[in-house]
Chains A and B, each alone.
Chain A
Amino acid sequence: MRKVLALSSLVGVLLTSVAFSDSYTIDPGHTYPNFRINHLGFSTMYGRFGTTAGKLEYDPAAQRGSVAITIDAASVNTGHQERDNALRSPDFLNVVEFPEITFKSTSVDFDADKPTSITGDLTLMGVTKPVTLTVTGANCGEHPLNKKHACGFDAIGAIKRSDFGINYAIPTVGDHMDLMLEVEAFKDE
């Protein structure tokens, strides 16, 4: 009986601590995965994905958090329609065969109550690889316009596109890519 009570208490504590993690839904209008890559050796090309969805779990006091983002691969935008068509083609993102890019965190490191890095699984072209993003800023508070509780963060990391099987035109178009994530999310009611 004592064992049952002890176990029940433990489960209760765990459930309580889980309940303290607030759940947030990503604001797609302010959540954009950006990237930059060397273009033909001349310059750095910047682009972003325009359509995202996902959830955050965040409890800075308990140094606990998670993020899961789904990106519409076809929403890639470099400000140049013809190049975007090429990026959507089998040469690069192959969006017809692999319409979704996902990032799911596996751990979040904190310094006091501030997140410092997010490690997670990035799935691109159906290939999943671990990626670590350095958090360059994070904040929570009341949104000044709609008065909802919101959280947001910026994070940056790097990948080699060849690791995900996107190997066309290397090194003419760079292999190394920087990923810059800007995320905002509203607390679930």
Chain B
Amino acid sequence: MVTHGRSRGMDTLSLPEIQSAVAPFVVALISGLVARTIGRGWSPIGAVIGFLVAAWLINGVQFTPLTGTRKIILLAVAAGIVGVVIDAAGRLRLRPVILAVPSVGAALWMIWNVLARRDGSQWLILAGSASVYVAWLVVVLDTGRQRAIPTVCAGVALAIGTGAITLLSASALLGQLGFALAAANGAVLLLAVVWKNTSVGASFTLPVGMLAGLLGFAGLVFARVPWYGLTILAVVPLSAYVRLPTRMPRVVLAALHTLIGVGISAGAVALVWWLMEDIGGY
């Protein structure tokens, strides 16, 4: 909700619903449409562009001190670029490994300030769980990319769950960023529903999986997201693998896949709501 450096006429941009819903959706939609003119596989890049604009509205462009949350924003840029490079490279052997390596690197860098104060088994548990969580989301999301609509729906549901669970766990900042990712993914989903031949690649699965993973794990380390919440959210990308009748209209397919994914996310959110004390803030 940063407003300094802007005029009064831009106060609307400080509203959370504008920052985390309207702005990322509109920007992702427009940038997705523009990117589509390059090729049918490029429109999903709108997700990371929409997220970055929302992050600018929420956080500003301040990166000092370089906190874990600000690293996530920088990593969004890097993940978008790496995703585009991977897509441009075409078919790759060991694709899951190629995607997992930057995911693990991103997870470790995000929590490095904390890891530097841990040692032994504590270091291993924290580093290992962060790496596995982020890499899992990216690789599972990417493996289902051949089916664009279910993959994007899983991305939407994962981001909604991440936003809700971090918001409940005392970080409105992480919550806003999670919902912004969901809104940007929603625009990509709309494009995938409108155009049958939309394809999804690493320019979507890498940044979306990575951002959802980083935001969720940041909530666990820096706020109060419980481990069981993330464990349930880790199941959400598998919703893309649910086989529904292929002859149904794309909009129905999208609605059903989103419902399945959001249902799992809602389970995680409900469990956190039920088991956690001191929910809320401000």
Tell whether, in the assembled complex, residue B68 and residue A86 are in contact, meaning their CB atoms are under 8 Å apart: no
The number of A-B residue pairs with CB atoms under 8 Å apart is 91
Tell whether, in the assembled complex, residue B224 and residue A169 are in contact, meaning their CB atoms are under 8 Å apart: no
Chain A positions within 8 Å of B35 at CB level: none
Chain B positions within 8 Å of A127 at CB level: 64-65
Tell whether, in the assembled complex, residue A85 and residue B65 are in contact, meaning their CB atoms are under 8 Å apart: no
Tell whether, in the assembled complex, residue B278 and residue A90 are in contact, meaning their CB atoms are under 8 Å apart: no
Tell whether, in the assembled complex, residue B64 and residue A91 are in contact, meaning their CB atoms are under 8 Å apart: no
Do A168 and B59 form a contact, CB below 8 Å, given A85-B170, A90-B174? yes
> A82 within 8 Å of B by Cβ?
yes
Residue interface bits A78-110, CB-to-B below 8 A is 1, else 0: 000111011111110010111000000000000
Tell whether, in the assembled complex, residue B281 and residue A83 are in contact, meaning their CB atoms are under 8 Å apart: yes
> A130 within 8 Å of B by Cβ?
no
Chain A positions within 8 Å of B2 at CB level: 167-168, 170
**Interface residues of A, CB < 8 Å — how many?**
28
Chain B positions within 8 Å of A167 at CB level: 2, 4, 59-60, 62
Chain A proximity of B17: nearest CB distance (Å): 13
Tell whether, in the assembled complex, residue A165 and residue B67 are in contact, meaning their CB atoms are under 8 Å apart: yes
Chain A positions within 8 Å of B69 at CB level: 90, 94
> A76 within 8 Å of B by Cβ?
no
Tell whether, in the assembled complex, residue A94 and residue B172 are in contact, meaning their CB atoms are under 8 Å apart: no
Tell whether, in the assembled complex, residue A88 and residue B170 are in contact, meaning their CB atoms are under 8 Å apart: yes
> B1 within 8 Å of A by Cβ?
yes
Tell whether, in the assembled complex, residue A94 and residue B279 are in contact, meaning their CB atoms are under 8 Å apart: no
Tell whether, in the assembled complex, residue A89 and residue B114 are in contact, meaning their CB atoms are under 8 Å apart: no
Chain B positions within 8 Å of A168 at CB level: 1-2, 58-59, 172-173
Alpha-carbon distance between A171 and B5 when the two chains are bound, in angstroms: 12
- Determine chain B's interface SS by DSSP, over half rule: loop
Chain A positions within 8 Å of B1 at CB level: 168-170, 172
- Among candidates B65, B173, B222, residue contacting A96 with C-beta atoms closer than 8 Å: B222
Tell whether, in the assembled complex, residue A89 and residue B68 are in contact, meaning their CB atoms are under 8 Å apart: no
> A136 within 8 Å of B by Cβ?
no
Residue in chain B with minimal CB distance to A160: B4
Chain B proximity of A94: nearest CB distance (Å): 6
Residue in chain A with minimal CB distance to B63: A165
Tell whether, in the assembled complex, residue A165 and residue B62 are in contact, meaning their CB atoms are under 8 Å apart: yes
Residue interface bits A4-43, CB-to-B below 8 A is 1, else 0: 0000000000000000000000000000000000001000
Residue in chain B with minimal CB distance to A92: B173
Tell whether, in the assembled complex, residue A97 and residue B279 are in contact, meaning their CB atoms are under 8 Å apart: no
Chain B proximity of A81: nearest CB distance (Å): 5
Tell whether, in the assembled complex, residue B3 and residue A82 are in contact, meaning their CB atoms are under 8 Å apart: no
Alpha-carbon distance between A87 and B280 when the two chains are bound, in angstroms: 11
> A175 within 8 Å of B by Cβ?
yes
- Among candidates A83, A88, A97, A162, residue contacting B68 with C-beta atoms closer than 8 Å: A97
> Which A positions have Cβ atoms within 8 angstroms of B?
40, 81-83, 85-91, 94, 96-98, 125-127, 162, 165, 167-173, 175
> Which B positions have Cβ atoms within 8 angstroms of A?
1-4, 14, 58-60, 62, 64-65, 67-69, 113-114, 170-174, 218, 221-224, 278-282
